[in-house]
Amino acid sequence: MARRLVGIAALAVAALLVAGCAETRKSMAGLCPAQRSSPGSAAGAEHVYSIDWWARADQTFALPYRPVEPGEPEVDPRTDHVFVGTADGKVRAFNSQGRFLWEHAVESAFDAGPTLADGRLYVAASKGQLLALDAASGKVIWEYASAEEIVTKPVVTEGLVIVMSSADTVFAVDQAKGDWRWQYRRDQPSDFTVRGAGRPVVFEGRVFAGFADGWAVALDSKDGVLQWAKDLGGGKPFADVDAGPVMDEEGRVFFASFATGLFALEAGTGKLIWTAPRAGISALAMGEGGKRLFAGGNGFISAFDGRSGQVGWSERLGTDQFVSGMAVASGLVLASTGSGPLMFFDGGTGRLRQSFDPGRGVWARPHVHGAQACVLSNRGVVYQMAIEARGRP
């Protein structure tokens, strides 16, 4: 979302490539990229996950400065095929055993992962391209040029593909043909802002999005007309509403301003339900069943009651760690920590159950599908994991 990069983006580090190929769980010993011990992953710790296969997605052997791989993987729930966009400017597909299927060169890095819908893979690139690819072959079906840096994973809904740019513009494009349908933009703050944007959410005909000026809005999904707007930042510096939005099953929408904290709003009206002051939130995730809301940021991860905003638990991370993305599976909170490991927290207690450090950290949000998680490391390696433990309800 920012034009000048400060805040959590300053924690990024150069990601070095490593050789690797798809390997089954049985043949991984000695071949997997370095996995340094982390809290909860030492010998004798409980067994929370196993790795079914891994494959090098970023094939570049030259070593330019490459701080992170921020693009969340996508998984086809029918075939278990995996799709990733990486810093070398290519989208790649792997089968359910991690074998390479196809690649398509976009010649642009990715700030977000692709989205699969109706046999097509929708890809948003940092140079402003939004593409629809045939998921079976990688062939381009259509391309839309936004002329702005797109930084969110596409949302496909109601015949539209919706993305958000770093210039605080929400674009809606026709899903079938790639034609422009509408856009909504807010003026950018004159001060420094935090880089990034929250992926919009669509619910009951409304598009919810947050902006760098500290405001959250609801737009009509048909034409982008403003339904309501809410000031969450109070005019403070770094008021960016980059975390969220996320929805629960009762019609509450949750946002977080980096400067002020967490907000629960009525989806239909924008009316405030509750707020929890907590500066520095960079990621949100809704728990299974919609009862718990998880928030992570600079050096912490916390759980809140979705109805009242009461804090259930809060855990401190390392002083140099922040939560760059979160997902929930089997009662566990999977938290990516930028240049640090992927951490598995018990959703009920907050206890760190295990960590996975593939070297150089995990920035991208893990993609969760059932009791499986697909993870892209900052080395450009994709891991297919089986989650073999459960958190407390």
Give the residue ranges of the chain where pLDDT is below 70. 1-45, 59-67, 190, 192-196
Tell me the CA end-to-end span of the chain in Å, nearest whole number.
35
What is the CB neighbour count within 10 angstroms for residue 51?
A: 18
Question: Looking at residue 93, what is its pLDDT?
Answer: 98
Question: Looking at residue 170, what is its pLDDT?
Answer: 98
**Phi, psi values for residue 7, rounded to 5°:** 70, -135
Q: What is the rounded distance in angstroms from the CA atom of residue 146 to the CA atom of residue 127?
A: 9
What residues does each domain of the chain span?
Answer: 71-185
Can you tell me whether residue 26 is helix, strand or coil? helix
Question: Looking at residue 11, what is its pLDDT?
Answer: 33
The HSE-up count of residue 184 (CA atoms within 13 Å, CB side) is 24
Enter the DSSP assignment of 298: B
Amino acid at 382: V
Annotation: CATH topology of 71-185:
Lipocalin (2.40.128)
What is the CB neighbour count within 10 angstroms for residue 220?
A: 14
Output the six-digit token pair for 14.
Answer: 């150069």
Question: Looking at residue 318, what is its pLDDT?
Answer: 80
Q: What is the rounded distance in angstroms from the CA atom of residue 213 to the CA atom of residue 192?
A: 11
Q: Which of 362, 326, 324 is nearest to 345 (CA)?
A: 326
- The pTM (predicted TM-score) of the whole model is 0.87
Question: Is-contact 147 187, C-beta < 8 A?
Answer: no
Can you tell me whether residue 25 is helix, strand or coil? helix
Question: Looking at residue 179, what is its pLDDT?
Answer: 98
pLDDT digits (tens, 9 = 90+) for 222-276: 999 999 999 999 989 989 999 889 999 899 999 999 999 999 999 999 999 999 9
Q: What is the rounded distance in angstroms from the CA atom of residue 237 to the CA atom of residue 214?
A: 9
**Phi, psi values for residue 8, rounded to 5°:** -65, -25
Q: Is the dihedral of CA 38, 364, 253, 4 positive or negative?
A: positive
Q: How many residues does the chain have?
A: 393
Q: What is the rounded distance in angstroms from the CA atom of residue 310 to the CA atom of residue 20?
A: 45
Q: What is the rounded distance in angstroms from the CA atom of residue 114 to the CA atom of residue 85?
A: 7
The sheet with strand 252-257 has its strands ordered as 243-247, 252-257, 261-266, 272-277
Q: Which of 282, 298, 276 is nearest to 242 (CA)?
A: 282
The helix or strand, by DSSP H or E, that contains position 183, with its residue range, turns out to be strand 180-185
Give, in degrees to the nearest 5, the angle at Cα 164 between 159 and 169.
105
Question: Is-contact 118 130, C-beta < 8 A?
Answer: no
